[in-house]
């Protein structure tokens, strides 16, 4: 019988583009205001990818940082998983393009679970390592949301930003850092958050472009309600699976979609504001990149300390959701 390994987190890394788009900038682009955006979302600014950059470039920068901090040889990486809904192209996978840029020989593929992508990827990495199939995994959550955003739609264009985060995970016979992962999905809500055109169901035509069907479409109020319930449920289930208790959790890192959602999830879980990590004001919603960038920032800033038990959770189009309990 194959040994079951534990999963150790070696390191994390993140990268966001240099260009900052503020609420004041948006006031000049659409009928909106800093006050309106701040009150409804908590977002003050977001990062915008450079003209000559693509998702694989953001993923490469984040991966370099994580690999350097992990102190492994880059050739130790057995598999690359990239969670994204905004890859360089429909195919090949952005993970394959990243593999080429890193100059390594590793299995590579993308997964699509929208904002929950990093949590879904974490579950896949955990399964691969625990089964003994692979020893070392490079997991990336990255998005270029601003290229699939309708900049004339004031309800959605204020929400999104670009970035990438990476985590290096490795098999261990002693240390256990990924304590639990819980996932969920409900495809009956696919109409609430999607990008209608560009797939084989609605191939690109002059009409789909003119009708702006290649951009994110979202029913905000409906998504808000479900997001709060499902993220809280996922966090509770992941905690139960981990064998830990509420008081064991040092920090909660929810998906940074909207400050009001974050606050509502905290209230539903009965968690003090001081134990909830927030960076939505700086970056907006970076979809699959959000939770891993927030985790990396929490670690590098000291908000999360060595040995802390942390709950990360996310919710996105699909609808998908998930949560994980990690030891840092």
Q: Which positions are catalytic?
A: 115, 255, 285
Of 192, 196, 160, 174, nearest in space to 280 by CA: 160
Collapsed DSSP state (helix, strand, coil) of residue 305 = coil
Of 147, 223, 225, nearest in space to 190 by CA: 223
Could you give the CA distance from residue 163 to residue 269 in angstroms, rounded to a whole number? 28
Ramachandran class of 111: left when φ > 0, alpha when ψ lies in -120 to 50, beta otherwise: beta
Which tokens in the block code for residue 237?
């289930």
Could you give the CA distance from residue 185 to residue 83 in angstroms, rounded to a whole number? 16
DSSP for 34-63, written as a single string: HHHHHHHH---EEEE--TT--HHHHHHHHH
Interior angle at CA 310, CA 305 and CA 315, nearest 5? 135
Tokens 């996922």 — which residue? 234
Of 145, 135, 119, nearest in space to 168 by CA: 135
Could you give the CA distance from residue 232 to residue 254 in angstroms, rounded to a whole number? 9
DSSP for 160-229, written as a single string: B-EEEEEEEEEEESS---EEEEEEEE-GGGGGGEE--SSSSSS---HHHHHTTTTS-EE-HHHHHHHHHH
Which tokens in the block code for residue 278?
């927030």
């Amino acid at each position: 019988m194959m040994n079951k390994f534990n999963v150790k987190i070696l390191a994390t890394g993140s990268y966001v583009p240099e260009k900052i788009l503020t609420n004041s900038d948006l006031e000049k682009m659409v009928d909106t205001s800093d006050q309106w955006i701040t009150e409804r979302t908590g977002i003050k600014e977001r990062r915008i990818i450079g003209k000559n950059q693509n998702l694989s470039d953001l993923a490469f920068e984040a991966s370099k940082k994580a690999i350097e901090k992990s102190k492994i040889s880059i050739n130790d990486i057995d598999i690359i998983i990239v969670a994204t809904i905004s890859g360089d192209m429909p195919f090949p996978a952005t993970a394959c393009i990243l593999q080429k840029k890193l100059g390594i020989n590793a299995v590579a593929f993308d997964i699509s679970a929208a904002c929950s992508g990093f949590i879904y990827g974490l579950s896949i990495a955990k399964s691969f390592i625990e089964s003994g199939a692979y020893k070392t995994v490079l997991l990336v959550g990255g998005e270029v949301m601003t290229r699939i955003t309708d900049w004339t739609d004031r309800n959605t264009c204020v929400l999104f930003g670009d970035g990438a985060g990476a985590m290096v995970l490795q098999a261990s016979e002693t240390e256990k850092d990924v304590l639990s992962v819980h996932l969920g999905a409900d495809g009956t809500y696919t109409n609430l958050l999607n990008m209608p055109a560009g797939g084989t169901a609605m191939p690109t035509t002059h009409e789909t472009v003119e009708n702006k069907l290649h951009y994110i479409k979202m029913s905000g109020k409906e998504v808000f309600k479900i997001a709060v319930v499902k993220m809280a449920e996922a966090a509770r289930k992941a905690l139960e699976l981990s064998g830990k208790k509420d008081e064991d959790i040092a920090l909660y890192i929810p998906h940074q979609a909207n400050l009001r959602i974050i606050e509502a999830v905290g209230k539903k879980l009965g968690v003090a504001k001081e134990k909830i990590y927030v960076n939505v004001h700086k970056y907006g919603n970076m979809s699959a990149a959000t939770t891993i960038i927030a985790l990396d920032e929490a670690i590098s800033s000291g908000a999360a300390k060595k040995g802390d038990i942390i709950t990360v959770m996310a919710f996105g189009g699909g609808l998908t959701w998930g949560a994980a309990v990690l030891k840092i």
